[in-house]
Structure 1
Amino acid sequence: MSDSEDYEVDDLALPDDDPLRGMVPASFGKQSKETNIAAQLEQARRPVAKPVAAKKVESDDGDDSDSDSDSDDEEDGEKYPVSHELVLKTHDRAITSVSLDPAGSRLISGSLDCTVKLHDFASMTPTTLRAFRSVDPWETKKSSTAAESHPINHVQFSHLSGSVFLCVTANPQAKIMTRDGNILTEFIKGDMYLRDMNHTKGHVGEVITGTWHPTDQNLCVTAGSDSTLRIWDINNKRSQKEVVVFKSKAAGSGGRTRMTAVAWGSSSQGASPVMVAAALDGSLVMYGGNGPFTRPSAEVREAHKSDTWTGGIDISSDGRMVVTRGGDGLIKLWDTRKFKEPLVKVEHASTSDRYPMTNIRYSPDSKAIITGSATGDLHILNPGNLRPEHVTPITPGAPLIVVEWHPKLNQIITGSANAETHVLFNPAMSTRGGVEVMSRVPKKRHIDDNPALTMDQSLGISADSIVTPGAMPHGIKRGGGLTASGKSRDPRRPQAQHITPFMRSQPDEKHISENIPLSKMLHEDPREALLKYADVANKDPMFTKAWKSTQPVTPYAELSDEEGDAGPDKKKVKR
């Protein structure tokens, strides 16, 4: 065989479905793999289910227009950003509240598992849909127990800056936290032994919910079970700025009832804002957003059925309309200019018996109203007649609790009872957020990406980390001279002092000096402090100045000669 002859190489004789074909390279050299963004967005497309819209209208000739209704449903689905979705499974229990910052870059969610999860869209990829931080608002730096945690009732970013968010837990003290999850301000708790709520400096019962002022980023309002609404300045945590005491006429002695929902929006005239709140006795009250708050400007006593939880309330962008969702299974539409009777009311199954934080929201342009249902469907309602224009399943079988529609991203965020947070979007209508996440290159999965395999879950440290001896906290230090309960095996060694909740509640010296006026007087000698004012008291007396010139001189009796000579020591002893 000569060198000029050509060589023929036979192809690999493998069937097309043989798994070995995936391991054999098709060509030599470095292979470049480009990301197919269209395919990734197609993977995020929600399964096409026949949506439930308004009732079908029969034509004049008696034939049902099925094809027309189907085409209308498809058109309705394209009008709203619900064609694609991202699913975030970062909580362990039901989602109670979701919120996006004004820029739409950070998402926070609260849950019944007592944690707040922080998600950053800029750091997520299609294969890394997880929270970058989990925060328990009640954990301390030293130690934390499960008894100190509380379910999250409400979280909400400030409307203007988005640098802080309001965190309401199931206890009397609401918190202001930074966008990174650090506690910035913790409002004070009121004195529970004071009967008049006007004299307390904070809530004396559980805080149910809260919201921000529409134009002032330093003001927020909280609604509590002590029948009050309290307006706070986030720069002053020692006392509320205003307290609004609601006296229920339907309640028993004392006139107290729980405040279940509050909304703060701009007014229809564009001047001062308006604040609307709902109570457990079925009342609906409206106040001028900038005060005075001595009495409501309008009140409806039986807006919803008494002793049912009205958890959903929202105000339209123009401040004219108010929508409420009550525990009596009704959604009602109100006009702030004629705040006496509802304009429209429709039936809608309630989930407030299990999840009282179920809400209802206006769209950013107030051309639609969104809310969830007990069957896990998202209902998009007409703001004029409250009829469903588009209904799509989100979490079938699990109630849809909270919804939010972001104005800048044009995306809908939902939280369900199965601990799933859904980000609904449409690539043609939405910007950034979920669209940006699905347009990134997926991160290569590695075994180290799974913290369950590379972390010691009992200690919270990585397997490849270097641990300095003696540097671990006492609560998790094991082995050596310690028993399983953490006590020393050496009887001569004193037992370490346990940090009890009472000890943690005692303020330290720095806290006292910063927050309590005149606290420096604790370290001052009282005698020296009083003697500093001795000369001033003699020259310019404060209390005896009126009779300074007419003050009589007290005459004292002089000692007799016998007493003077004898002296006290030479007196006769009585026998």
Structure 2
Amino acid sequence: MDASSGGKETESSSNDGDIASVMGFSGFGKKARTFDFEAIFEQTRRTAIERSHRALEERRQDETQQEAAGSSQKSKVRPVAASTCRDKSAAKASRPQESSSSGDSSDSGSDSDSSSDLIGPPIPSKLAIHGDPDDIVGPPLPPGYRGSLADDDDDEEDMQDEDDDDNPVKRIPDTHEITLQHGTKTVSALGLDPSGARLVTGGYDYDVRFWDFAGMDAALQAFRSLQPCECHQIRSLQYSVTGDVILVVAGSAQAKVLDRDGFPVLECVKGDQYIVDMANTKGHTAMLNSGCWHPKIKEEFLTCSNDGTVRTWDLNSEKKHKSVFKPRSLQGKRVTPTCCSYSRDGKLIAAGCQDGTIQIWDRNLSVHTKFHCRKAHTPGSDISCLAFSYDGTTLASRGGDDTLKTWDIRNFSKSLSVASGLTTFFPMTDCCFSPDDRLLVTGTSVKRGEGNGKLVFFERTSFQKVYEIEVSNASVVRCLWHPKLNQIMVGTGNGLAKVYYDPVKSQRGAKLCVVKSKRKEKQAETLTQDYIITPHALPMFREARQRSTRKQLEKDRLDPLKSHKPEPPVSGPGRGGRVAAHGGTLSSFIVKNIALDKTDDSNPREAILRHAKAASDNPYWVAPAYTSTQPEPVFAEVESEDEEADKEPEWKKRKI
């Protein structure tokens, strides 16, 4: 068996060598190296024990010497570092090449009992070391360590970075801006998809425009414009959580859902306006005011209308709403909701009403409100916006009484803070939180020619105005601060949509399109004649393929027949077989010589009566024909109206 197995091994090794020579592999057929891990572990353990034992002995000697001399604590550190260096060199020099015998292991075991607490790496070099770097004994400091040897400039930079983190104003991206021309009327709706790649704008001109930051160049032109709701002003636009559909809320009673390219996906049903109880109708019966998507469920959205209801809808069920919420006044009467919003977790539904109240329901309980504030804003003022903070505990409300308030959801009876003097003229003026939840942003309105509309920033806790941006000489209606892009979108009252960004603090978005140059306009090139493709024609009859129309036009210009100037029209009677301008037919002759002849200005009646005397003296056409039968003409006698009335019979006379 052994001889046969040995013969097989030699045969396989020779075959491997032949294959290696043929295929060109240098290491083909070699066996992998084997390691004795137990011996390596034992060697490492013994080395660590010896090093720890030596370090302990030297430390004890140093401590006894220092106590006798009364040295300071600072001098204790350097000998330890030196001892660790010596231990390392000694361990390297005395490291055995092979595994030790069993007798040595017993000695190491006795040593390990006395120094079991010090097994491990040497003392780290992260200790506080002061003085000249040349005097330091021991291993070098780690690259990330900052002790007293670090430069003062680095410390100042760190302090500045910390100040920037503490000051939220320095995080506002307002160093650069771009302007998108939506139209000439108010931009009343803004929407950004979750990724920040596309922006949609809607306005009082009924248009919805689509802007693609990645596809735009420096010309900043929208790639699509449409009117999804015909002659109704756009009130709200919002992308869903996934960004694949857009909710369009206009002045009509039916909300619409479009896909990313603007094609219709869903149109909500309209309710029966003759039913008194709005809960029994399938949809809204009056103009919509606002709408938004559910933050967690991608198929659900919310709308509010002038019919006094707030309704939730399912994208997969277009024939009827999902649930109905009816805001009520203190007397139980119907109240018109002017804005609505979901909480960040989607469990609450909030509505701002026309009487200045804020009413919040549980999403699954539509009968009674969970939170209610009767005097949130001035009665009769429309609440234009409700926005929840990112932590979900604070609600911001923008009122028609020129105020901005914040509320704690856990204690909803009283507002946390109030900012007044914020003029608003539009029923959809926005407010929103910054991505870090430390600032609150809103816009102000101005009359034409009386100043500039501003974007005002308030600190959330102290509610002090910390910053403002003058946008344009028109009102600021919509504002949107995208958390992923860190860019601020603003809609104004003069048809502009502005994007504020910072090249360092912002991501993508407007930064993608401002760096692209404008595309050159393509000149319209027209073919002089149709090119007929005949692939099976003989070479002598085959036409050359046209490569460029410009070259063909240049060739045609050199051809005297193709570039011959057409002859002008003939004036006069005509020559060379060509007819004059008016033609050579009889009708053209009559038109030219009779109908267009304006030399005879006489009265046609007088011209006819001029021959009356000659016709009576010498009749020729009509009178000779009646000479035998009617020598003298007899005419009817003309009677007066009174005589005609007397001759009428009694039964024909009118009864007075």
Is 1:95 aligned to 2:187, yes or no? yes
Q: Distance in 1 between matches of 2:272 and 2:469?
A: 48
- Counterpart Cα distance in 1 of 2:275 and 2:298: 31
Once the two structures are TM-superposed, the CA of residue 351 in structure 1 deviates from its matched residue by 1.5
Report if the CA contact (8 A) 2:169-2:466 is conserved: no
Deviation at 1:192, TM superposition (A): 0.4
The answer for the alignment partner of 2:613 in structure 1 is none
- In the alignment, is the contact (CA less than 8 A) between 1:345 and 1:386 conserved in 2? yes
- Distance in 2 of aligned mates of 1:177 and 1:202: 19
- Cα shift readout 1:248-306 (whole Å, capped 9, x = no counterpart): 226xxx71221011111225xxxx62221110011111112x31111110111111111
Deviating beyond 6 angstroms after TM superposition, the runs of 4 or more aligned structure 1 residues are none
2:232 to 143, 150, 160: 150
Does structure 2 retain, via aligned residues, the 8 Å contact 1:76–1:390? Answer: no
Query: For the residues of structure 1 that align with 2:490 and 2:521, how far apart are their CA atoms?
Result: 27
Contact 2:327 2:336 (C-alpha < 8 Å) held by counterparts: no
SS at match of 1:435: helix
Structure 1 CA distance, aligned partners of 2:295 and 2:382?
25
Which residue of 376, 387, 400 maps to 2:464? 387
1:260 paired with 2:338, answer yes
Secondary structure of residue in 1 paired with 2:513: helix
Unaligned runs of 5+ in 2: 1-162, 446-451, 525-656
1:201-212 alignment runs, 5 A limit: 201-212=282-293
* RMSD, matched Cα: 1.8
Which whole-Å CA distance do the structure 2 matches of 1:103 and 1:349 have between them?
32
2:196 and 2:328 map into 1 onto residues whose CA distance is 39
Q: 1:130 aligns with which of 221, 236, 243?
A: 221
Structure 1 regions of 5+ residues with no counterpart?
1-70, 140-148, 449-575
**Equivalence for 1:221:** 302
More deviation in 356-365 or 413-422?
356-365
* Residue in 2 that maps onto 1:120: 212
Whichever residue aligns with residue 321 of structure 1, its letter is: T
Q: Which residue of 2 aligns with 1:176?
A: 257
Q: What percentage of residue pairs aligned between the two structures are identical?
A: 32
* Aligned residue among 409, 412, 437 for 2:485: 409
Alignment match, 1:366: 437
8 Å Cα contact 2:406-2:416 kept in structure 1: yes
Structure 1 segment 11-26 matched on structure 2, within 5 A: none
1:197 maps to a residue whose letter is: M
- State the TM-score, normalized to the length of structure 1: 0.60
Contact 1:358 1:401 in 2 (8 A): yes
Paired residue secondary structure (2:427):
coil
Count of paired positions: 354
Structure 2 residue identity aligned to 1:317 = Y
> What is the match of residue 83 of structure 1?
175
- Structure 1 residues 256, 391: closer, same or farther in 2, change over 3 A? same
Distance in 1 between residues matched to 2:199 and 2:262, nearest whole Å:
12
Aligned partner of 2:269 in structure 1 is: 188
- 2:201 aligned with 1:109, yes or no? yes
Could you say which residue in structure 1 is the equivalent of 2:17? none
Shift of 1:228: 0.7
SS of structure 2 residue aligned to 1:293: coil
Q: Secondary structure at the match of 2:279?
A: helix
Distance change (3 Å), C-alpha of 1:77 and 1:447: farther
> Counterparts of 1:221 and 1:235 in 2: how far apart (Å)?
14
Shift of 1:77: 6.0
| Shift in Å, 1:197 | 1.1
**Residue 276 of structure 1, aligned match among 335, 350, 354:** 350
1:362-511 alignment, distance < 5 Å? 362-374=433-445, 375-395=452-472, 397-444=473-520
Deviations 1:481-536 (A, max 9, x none): xxxxxxxxxxxxxxxxxxxxxxxxxxxxxxxxxxxxxxxxxxxxxxxxxxxxxxxx
Shift of 1:409: 0.8
Q: Pick the aligned partner of 2:280 from 193, 199, 215.
A: 199
- Name the SS of the counterpart of 1:423 in structure 2: strand
CA distance in 2, matches of 1:242, 1:365: 34
Q: 2:391 matched to 1:318? A: yes
Superposed, 1:6-85 pairs within 5 Å as: 78-85=170-177
Separation in structure 1 between the aligned mates of residue 393 and residue 435 of structure 2, nearest angstrom: 14
Contact residue 320 and residue 336 of structure 1 kept, 8 A: yes
Measured in 2, the distance between the counterparts of 1:337 and 1:87 equals: 41
Decide which of 293, 306, 329 is 2:366's aligned counterpart.
293
Kept in 1, the 8 Å contact 2:229–2:252? The answer is no
Which of 353, 356, 360 lines up with 2:427 in the alignment?
Answer: 356
Q: Secondary structure at the match of 1:216?
A: coil
Residue aligned with 2:214, SS: helix
